[in-house]
Structures are given as structure tokens and as C-alpha cells.
Amino acid sequence: MSMIPTTYRTLIDPLIDVARGILESGEHLVPVAFVGNLTSGQTHQVMMSAASESAKDESAELVRHLAALHEADFVFVIMDAWGLPRAKMHRYKEILERYGSIGASPYRVDIVSFTLETRHGLWVAQMQVKPKGVSKKRRTFGEPAFELFTEAQGRFVHLLPESEAGEAPSGVLH
């Protein structure tokens, strides 16, 4: 299955629209996770911190804890990040060695990242954030094209608890 099931798109599309609206009004995105259970119909919002590596770790643990507590079957994460333009991607390691991080690099581009972790897989979309019109404060992004990730790693994956059958959700993400 490579497409996000319709049930999840119905839930996340309005959240994507809200994120776009926040940027277009000149505000900044705050990293947030939505932890939900389709059976109960409940979704819990978790504000996260990206202030430091330990804050990121604590945020991921909080999401995992709430996902287990509420027997979540999906986690949708919205966060801003930095990336590299396609023309510089092949120099990723060199840029990290020289500048210490993508964010400290003069080549960085602002992106918005969406991840949806479900029992059916992990879908990811990242879009470059661009100025809206001639404004320096108001920004926007295009329509996200989600891709199914089968191999990814990092703190913001495996956020869902194991199912009763003992199956962990598939996929991993940085």
C-alpha cells in the first residue's frame, strides 16, 4: 500500500491547511504531534520542543507515552526544519563537516515536514517553505506529496505502541 488510507487523509488534510495558514499569516510553526485513536475518535495534541537534542528526545518520549496511554493507532507530526537544495544534496557530508549542521550552512532551505505513522506504514512529505508574494514575513508551501517510507531511523519514529498482536508499526524516521 503506497497511498495514505482515506480515513487518515480526512484527519490530516485540515491540519495541513492550518499549518499553511499559520505560515501565511506571518507566524512560525511550533512542532506538534497529533496522537489519535480511530476507534475512540479521540486525538490529543502534543506541543514539542526542538530547543536542544535533549528537548527533542523528551518530546519524542512524551509522544510515545501518550500514544501508549491512549492506545493510539496513528501519530501525525508537523515540524519545520532545514534541508538542502537538490543541487547540494550530493555534498551533504561535506557541508556537515564544514558547517557542523545543515542549519548553519549558507545553502540551507526552510522546509515543513509532515509524518504520519500508522499501523499500515509511515508516510512522509517535505516541502520547501517560500515567501508568499513579496512579503518577507509571510510564507507558504505547496501541496504535500506523501511517500511511503519502508526504511527510516531516528527519534521521531516508532512512536506508536506495539499492537496486541505484538507487531510494532513499520518504518523509522530521523
The string of pLDDT tens digits covering residues 127-157 is: 999 999 887 789 999 999 999 987 777 788 8
What's the whole-number average pLDDT of the chain?
A: 89
Q: Quick one: average pLDDT of 41-48? A: 94
- Provide the whole-model pTM: 0.86
pLDDT(165) > 60: no
- The identity of residue 149, as a single letter, is F
Q: Cα 156–29–18 angle (5° rounding)?
A: 100
CA dihedral 142→44→49→95, nearest 10 degrees, is -40
- The identity of residue 98, as a single letter, is R
Decide if 114 contacts 142 (C-beta within 8 A): no
What pLDDT score does 137 carry?
A: 87
Three-class SS state of 63? helix
